[in-house]
Amino acid sequence: MNIIFSDERLPSQKIIDHMTEAAKLCVEQEGIDPDRVEISVTFVGSEEIMELNRLFRDKDAVTDVLSFPQYEDLSEISDEAVICLGDVVICSEIALIQAEEYGHSAERELVYLLVHSIFHLLGYDHIEEGERLEMREQEEKIMEMVNLGK
104 CB contacts (<8 Å, ≥6 apart)?
98, 112
Q: What are phi and psi of 6, to 5 degrees?
A: -65, 150
**CATH code of the region 2-145:** 3.40.390.30
pLDDT of residue 149: 78
**Residue 31's CB: how many other CB atoms inside 10 A?**
7
pLDDT of residue 126: 80
pLDDT of residue 68: 96
pLDDT of residue 76: 74
Per-residue pLDDT tens digits of the chain, which is 150 residues long: 999 999 888 999 999 999 999 999 999 999 899 999 999 999 999 999 999 999 999 999 999 999 999 988 777 777 767 889 999 999 999 999 999 999 999 999 999 999 999 999 999 888 788 888 999 999 999 999 999 977
pLDDT of residue 71: 84
pTM to 2 decimals?
A: 0.93
Burial label for 34, CB within 10 Å (0-12, 13-18, 19+), is middle
Query: What is residue 81's three-state secondary structure?
Result: coil
Nearest to 123 by CA among 32, 56, 43, 33: 32
Please state, in angstroms and rounded to a whole number, the distance separating the CA atoms of residues 101 and 82: 38
pLDDT of residue 111: 97
Please state, in angstroms and rounded to a whole number, the distance separating the CA atoms of residues 132 and 129: 5
12 CB contacts (<8 Å, ≥6 apart)?
107
